[in-house]
Structure formats: structure tokens, C-alpha cells
A and B are shown apart, each in its own frame.
Chain A
Amino acid sequence: MSKKILITDDTMFMRFNLRKILLSFGYTDVLEASNGQEAVEQYDAHLPDLVLMDITMPVMDGISAVRAIKANHPDAKVIMCSAMGQKNMIIEAIQAGAKDFIVKPFQPDRIKESVSKFLG
């Protein structure tokens, strides 16, 4: 599959885990960012087809990063992937422009379901 996916998470484990899951489903073109600011820069540079975005991160949080990406790329597809599943946070993420919200911990199939829904 030639779709490009950007993983944004400050924890090394989660980037490792998501990359492994995406590879197992055939997504081989995977980029990584460790905070929201890096995600915005990577998005501008590589225009990925989809972004998986954590919320709580240093430098720039995930919701601010979604707003910044959507401001320049209104068609950007972003899936939030966070351990913080409070209702208000989910609403804020969706209002910022996220397409889906996955609460950690997740099963690999939950990632597959959401990614394939938005990548067709």
C-alpha cells in the first residue's frame, strides 16, 4: 500500500507499537513525530494521507497540532489516539477537526478499522 501515515506520539513505545501494527496491515510508508510541533512540520513537508495523533505531548499538544494542520490543509485526515478519553477532550478534538478518537489501550483491529475507513 502506498498510503503515507504520520504517527505522532511522545512515547517511544507507542510509536514503535503503532508502526508495527501499521506494517502488519501492509502500510509501509510510515513517518514519525514526537510532538505536535514536529507533526505540523512533518505534515507540511511530506503531506501524509493520514495522521495518528496523541493528545498530551510536550512542546505542542495534539489538539493544537490538529488545529494548526487543518488551518493550512483543510482536507487533512487526523485520528486522535490518546489515553485521555474524557468526553470533553473527545469533543474538543472533534471540534478541532479530528475524524475519529481511539482510546488507549486499543486492539490492533481498532487501528485497522479506523485507518482503512479513512484511507479507503
Chain B
Amino acid sequence: MNVDYINPFVAASFSVLEMVLSKTPVKGNLTVQPDVFTSHKCNVVFGVTGQVSGSVIYGMSGPTALQIATIMLDEPVKLFDKLAASAIAELGNMICGNALQHLSEAGYQCDITPPTIVHGQAQICTLSCPALVMPIETGYGKVYLTVGLKGRK
């Protein structure tokens, strides 16, 4: 996969996570994910369409999702209810929105589908497009950014 496609999502993840959580994120090692894999406990899934297409997934553990929702809502979150899910989905939405801005500046016009929250481990298939995974330590647990994108021929 062209790194031009993942870099905007990495940059956007860092700037949005830092602004929302008020902690400087730390980058982990980039790995290649097979096109079928077992997800984390809480996942925000986006489809990307346009000049670059595929999927982007933000995965995290249950406790990390609760901690991030607690910060975002500025009140203790003990249960992953609709409001907590909405906060986690919006975090992904802000990151993807920001990444689309970077992609647009690089000459790739794209759009994203509304986020889908997958809560509970599941088999995820990114279809014929192996993904790159970047673990990001947020200070409240790791968020795994999985990007499986390809350019339109």
C-alpha cells in the first residue's frame, strides 16, 4: 500500500488525539495486517471512497474506550452505552475528517462513510487489500489505526 495513503491518517490521528485527550501520543511500530484478522474489543470502522478507497479502522480495548469516553464527556463512563459509543465514533470521525483534508491537499479527493461501531471481537476482512497497522499510545491505552487503502486505477 502506498504510504501516501496512511501518512495523512497517522498525522490526523496524532493531532486530533493530542487536542482531544490533552496528552502527546506516542507512535508504535508499523506492521502489515493480513486481509482477515481478529478485531479489538471496540472498533470504529469507516469506508473511504473516491480517488483512494478501502477501509480505516480504529481499534482499542474496552477499558481504553471507556477511559477515552470519560475524557471526552468530562464525566466518569463505566458502561459502553450509546453516548460513550457516540463519543468514540466522533473521535474517529474527527480523525478521518482531518485526514481527508490532508489527502485533499495531496491531490486525492475522497469521502468517508458514516462510522460504524463494532463492539466485541469479530473477524474483519478488508477484502483484497492488506492493511497497515500503527499502534498509538494515547496515555489512556493504545489505539490501533488500521488503514487498508488503494488508489483508483
List residues of chain A with CB under 8 Å of any chain B CB.
10-14, 16-17, 20, 56, 58, 82-88, 103-105, 107
Contact = CB atoms under 8 A, between A and B. Distances in A.
Contacts of A105: 16, 19-20, 94
A21 B16 CA distance: 19
Contact of A12 (B86, B96, B97, B98): B86
Interface residues of B, number: 21
A83 B97 contact: yes
A35 B16 CA distance: 24
Nearest to A15: B86
Contacts of A82: 97
Given A11-B93, A14-B90, A104-B94, A86 B100 contact: yes
Interface in B88-116: 89-90, 93-94, 96-98, 100-101, 104, 114
B152 interface: no
B83 A83 contact: no
Contacts of B100: 84, 86
B11 interface: no
8 smallest A-B Cβ distances: which pairs? A83-B97, A13-B86, A12-B86, A13-B87, A83-B94, A86-B104, A84-B97, A13-B90
Nearest to B103: A86
A6 to B, nearest CB: 19
A83 B98 contact: yes
A56 B114 contact: yes
Contacts of A10: 114
A13 B114 contact: no
12 contacts: A11-B86, A11-B93, A13-B72, A17-B72, A20-B74, A83-B94, A84-B101, A104-B94, A104-B97, A105-B16, A105-B19, A107-B19
A88 B111 CA distance: 13
A56 B73 CA distance: 22
A32 to B, nearest CB: 13
Given A12-B86, A16-B73, A83 B104 contact: no
Contacts of B90: 11, 13-14, 83, 104
A56 B49 CA distance: 15
A17 B89 CA distance: 14
Contact of A13 (B89, B101, B104): B89
A56 B111 CA distance: 10
A14 B20 CA distance: 13
